[in-house]
Amino acid sequence: MSQVLASSSAALEPGDWVLGYNGWQTHDKCHASQLQKLDPAAAPVTSALGVLGMPGRTAWFGLMEAGRPRPGDTLVVSGAAGAVGSLVAQFGKRAGCRVIGIAGGPAKCAWLTGRLGLDGAIDYKSFSSTETLAAEVMRQSGGVDIYFDNVGGAVSDAVIPLINLRARIVVCGTISQYEGGIDVPELAPRVLQHLLFQRATAQGILARDFVHRMDELRAVVTPWVRAGEVFLDETVVDGFERLPHALNMLFEGVNTGKLLVKVA
Ligand SMILES: NC(=O)c1ccc[n+]([C@@H]2O[C@H](COP(=O)([O-])OP(=O)(O)OC[C@H]3O[C@@H](n4cnc5c(N)ncnc54)[C@H](OP(=O)(O)O)[C@@H]3O)[C@@H](O)[C@H]2O)c1
């Protein structure tokens, strides 16, 4: 997201806020057709990078299309204090689900049950084995109807065996495996028996598949954002030169909500 400095397009003038995939740079020259003009009066401009942007799209369509929530369902979200996860959790609550969030550290868990009003939160870092983490997920959830997975790895090993009949697993991301693990897959088939016996479905979702449906998202979610009923907290890092540092912060779990870098 950036601000227009100069434009030869009638549609844009200096000072306008625009959204575009302009890369990791301080300035860019591009065609106006590559940019989406933002309306600061409709919603805070940074929401175009959050709840009304790619993370919101991932959360909304991932949950609605693949998770298919029904009132009374138990929804477990991993990476629950992050950008996508915290929105999934809020959308799940609005859909009438019981929502249990999994995140790293007591502060994030307190934020999940406090600010987000979730029904439960689990600090996965406080468990030394998959078995003890699974026991806590079972204790808090009583079984899982929807598992929205942002992290993969050991957390998913703990959650997937707890799925209920006809559960839906939304495969959104596997951040625990991004540091090399994604090229050396774990023994994935060990989870398949659980899908088989519970007649469950696991569906991968990609935000890019729903770009053409952003109007749908904005129509439903913008009033909630304006009313303050749905929000995405922001962790802001200052300075273009700190971009690499900010990227690494994602793997260290420093951010709550959306991690943004303020270039200037
Ligand atoms: N399918 C799609 O189209 C799509 C679109 C956007 C994002 N994604 C994926 O969705 C996931 C969340 O993305 P996001 O942008 O919203 O990031 P995010 O959740 O805001 O930030 C990443 C979080 O992941 C957690 N994490 C890091 N290493 C971990 C590990 N080893 N085990 C468990 N948790 C770990 C950290 O939280 P803790 O402090 O809780 O550990 C960290 O704050 C990522 O896997 C991303 O690749 C997919």
Distance 249 CA to ligand 1 centre (A): 11
- 3 and 109 in a single domain? The answer is no
Residue 187 included in any domain: yes
Residue 260 included in any domain: no
- 87 and 170 in a single domain? The answer is yes
Is residue 187 pLDDT above 80, yes or no?
no
Residue 262 included in any domain: no
| Segment 108-122, tens digit of pLDDT | 999 999 999 999 999
- 28 and 59 in a single domain? The answer is no
Residue 12 included in any domain: yes
Residue 219 included in any domain: no
Q: Which residues does ligand 1 sit against, CB inside 6 Å? A: 55, 58, 79, 81-85, 103-105, 108, 150-151, 153, 155, 172-176, 205-207, 250-251, 253, 255, 259
Minimum-distance ligand 1 atom for the alpha carbon of 103 = 40
Query: How many domains, in total, are found in the chain?
Result: 2
| Segment 9-52, tens digit of pLDDT | 999 999 999 999 988 899 999 999 999 999 999 889 999 999 99
| Segment 215-262, tens digit of pLDDT | 999 999 999 999 999 999 999 999 999 999 999 999 999 999 999 999
This prediction's pTM: 0.94
Task: Please return the burial class of 31, using the count of CB atoms within 10 Å of its CB with bins 0-12, 13-18 and 19+.
Answer: exposed
Residue 11 included in any domain: yes
- 173 and 62 in a single domain? The answer is yes
Residue 28 structural domain: 1-38
Minimum-distance ligand 1 atom for the alpha carbon of 125 = 41
Are 73 and 146 in contact by the 8 Å Cβ rule? The answer is yes
Write the CATH number for 119.
Answer: 3.40.50.720
- 74 and 191 in a single domain? The answer is yes
Minimum-distance ligand 1 atom for the alpha carbon of 62 = 1
- 28 and 58 in a single domain? The answer is no
Residue 4 included in any domain: yes
Which residue in 220, 175, 170 sits closest to 200, CA to CA? 170
- 65 and 182 in a single domain? The answer is yes
Residue 163 included in any domain: yes
